[in-house]
Amino acid sequence: MSEQVTYDYYKNGYSGYELEEQEFNKYLGEATRCVSRLTSGRSEKEEYSSFPKVKNAICAAAEAACKCDKTYGVNSYSYGVKSESKDGHSVTFDNTTYEQAERIKSKSIERAVRAELFGTGLLYRGVYRRK
């Protein structure tokens, strides 16, 4: 499914502007897996994978993941560093733990995906009964 969501779609279809192409490609897999998990795999089915709202949800999830990583330093060498100065070598650490940062990231991604997929029926967790 993620092969249908390209950086070109992100820029032109979704009108995204926060991510550079390298960042978008870095978070695309994580975003696709999150959308798949929240839709119980339905987003990967052929009839939904090209649905614009599914593509938009993947783009929103990629943006949310990148924003959290930049804010909390998750997945970077400077995790937990709030500020740093060179001459006096002063380092101030954020009091957010790694687990808290990952939880915040997960919730932010989920919130972004839910906002895009609201009203589509793809977030429904129940069982459909066929007559």
pLDDT digits (tens, 9 = 90+) for 22-64: 999 999 999 999 999 999 998 888 888 788 999 999 999 999 9
Helices 21-38 and 98-117, packing angle to 10 deg: 80
The band of 4, judged by pLDDT with boundaries at 50, 70 and 90, is: confident
Q: Is the pTM of this model over 0.85?
A: no
| Percentage of the chain lying above the pLDDT 70 cut | 76
Pairing mode, strands 81-85 and 90-93: antiparallel
